[in-house]
Structure 1
Amino acid sequence: MNEIPIDIVSDVMCPWCFVGKRRLEKAVQMVGTDVDVHVNWRPYQLDPTLPKEGKDRATYLAEKFGGADRARTLYRNIDEAGKKDGISFSFDAITLSPNTLDAHRLIRWSQNAGADVQDRVVERLFELYFIEGKNVGDHAVLIDVAKECGMDAAVVSSLLATDSDKEEVRREIAVAQSMGVTGVPCFIIGQRYAVMGAQDPQTLAEAIMRVADGSGAADEAAAPR
């Protein structure tokens, strides 16, 4: 059986990353049991300038898109894509645009917390933000996610109160940018083949199989570490 690592460069405030997660899950089902896929979630910040406490959503949309009405128009395609992939986006429920650095620290820590824990953490963060409208930059929310997903909430709470791994997360983001990642999601398959954007499941499945059978051309970029 071929073992294929897939590094997903992603931000939890990116709706296309949520869609991309669903499409990758479908792609993995399509390639079947001949390929053993191991997913690692890597950090990216669409807007690292957001203050630690986040920014009022209406203000953020006005600055970024020219207002909520313009944003709603842009989000229409995302909403339709989400429905096709089983996601019921609730953009109007979002009242705060968060700084996602601490969420990425939690995702980083979850990688060593047990099988599938990181995937559950990422899934829950997407759900909380895009469906329930929660502030995924809030420490109380992140601690609850840790507890719900099987992590040691007390340890996570103590780590969040420090600067632990902040620079490491920023360094990973810088590595991704140096590789040419300018938007997310970006799927780096087998450290050889990069697929940019929330591509359809067939495209992702074909890329996985190209790497699995050795026909995928090596990319200059290696997965960020």
Structure 2
Amino acid sequence: MNIIYLSDFNCIYSYIGLNRIKNTVFELDLDVEWEMKSFELLPGANNISAMERFASDNKLSIDEAKKEIEEIESIAANEGLNVNYKDLIINSSKDAHRLAKYVQNRHPESAQELIFKIFESNFIKNENIADHDVLINIAASCGLNESAIAEMLKKDSLEIEVELDIEEAVSYGITRIPYYIIEYKGERLTIPGVFEKKDFETAFKDLISGEIQNKSYIGRIDFNLI
């Protein structure tokens, strides 16, 4: 089974959704190959308050935004993710995406570990994921060569590939993330958005059994987003 997912390291729903789908895969003991596609929500972001951004995007007061963010934090905490979303300062995720692509290409066995650690760095530790030292330390914690990572980050390596991922997704009408594409025995199905864990589980079981044909919450796609 292949799981292609469109995410951004500044998207709390991407973090929660990926954690849910990872746990579902583990509990069902599925053999999965993962691929993250870049979908940078805030290109060029620099020291943006997540609280203020959330309030602005949802036309809320700061107090209303704080309450909703605390509810999101509670949902995440119930799943073992002790996020601190309300104090997050958003910075560009482009270099984090470049790093993820580099590791997927060169060290695929370490890619998922690295991706989760970038999410953790941002949402739990509230580190600046645009800072190359932060990214280098994350890569080193995954057993990757610090010098090679530092050299890659200094250059514009894979920047075009990151941008092409977004352009390709938008060209197929995908404008929101997270977004999951599941490939299994010739079937290619999509899961738009964050499902509850039990719904992810049902979706995987139905796909494997062939019962997915009768379901409406997952849609077929005919394009080739690979």
Q: How far off its partner does 1:26 sit?
A: 2.3
Structure 2 Cα separation of the partners of residues 67 and 208 of structure 1: 39
- Please tell me whether residue 201 in structure 1 is matched to residue 197 in structure 2: yes
Aligned-residue sequence identity (percent) comes to 25
Asked if structure 1 preserves the Cα contact closer than 8 Å seen for 2:21 and 2:197, the reply is: yes
Asked if structure 2 preserves the Cα contact closer than 8 Å seen for 1:107 and 1:122, the reply is: yes
Rate the CA distance shift 1:221–1:67 in 2: closer, same or farther, 3 A.
farther
Deviations 1:137-164 (A, max 9, x none): 1111111111111222211111111111
Query: How high is the TM-score relative to the length of structure 2?
Result: 0.85
Deviations 1:145-193 (A, max 9, x none): 1111122221111111111110111001111122222211111101711
Structure 2 Cα separation of the partners of residues 59 and 20 of structure 1: 23
Q: How far off its partner does 1:14 sit?
A: 0.7
Matching residue of 2:217: none
Q: How far off its partner does 1:209 sit?
A: 3.3
Matching residue of 2:10: 13
Q: Counterparts in 2 of 1:205-216, with a 5 A limit?
A: 205-214=201-210, 216=212
Matching residue of 2:177: 184
Q: Counterparts in 2 of 1:114-153, with a 5 A limit?
A: 114-153=107-146
Q: How far off its partner does 1:216 sit?
A: 4.4
* Candidates 163, 166, 172, aligned match of 1:173: 166
* Candidates 59, 74, 79, aligned match of 2:68: 74
Asked if structure 1 preserves the Cα contact closer than 8 Å seen for 2:70 and 2:86, the reply is: no
Of 57-66 and 37-46, deviating more is 57-66
Rate the CA distance shift 1:103–1:115 in 2: closer, same or farther, 3 A.
closer
Matching residue of 2:37: 42
Q: How much is the aligned-residue C-alpha RMSD, in angstroms?
A: 2.2
SS of the aligned residue for 2:127 comes to coil
Structure 2 Cα separation of the partners of residues 211 and 150 of structure 1: 35
Of 102-111 and 198-207, deviating more is 198-207
Aligned length: 215
Matching residue of 2:20: 23
Q: How far off its partner does 1:90 sit?
A: 1.1
Structure 2 Cα separation of the partners of residues 124 and 63 of structure 1: 28
Which fold has the larger relative contact order, with Cα–Cα distance below 8 Å and residues 6 or more apart in sequence?
1
Query: How high is the TM-score relative to the length of structure 1?
Result: 0.85
Structure 1 Cα separation of the partners of residues 148 and 103 of structure 2: 11
- Please tell me whether residue 89 in structure 1 is matched to residue 91 in structure 2: no
Rate the CA distance shift 1:98–1:147 in 2: closer, same or farther, 3 A.
same
* Candidates 209, 218, 221, aligned match of 1:219: 221
Structure 1 Cα separation of the partners of residues 57 and 109 of structure 2: 35
User: Which amino acid is the alignment partner of residue 68 of structure 2?
Assistant: L
Matching residue of 1:103: 96
Q: How far off its partner does 1:214 sit?
A: 4.8
Unaligned 5+ runs, structure 2: 214-219
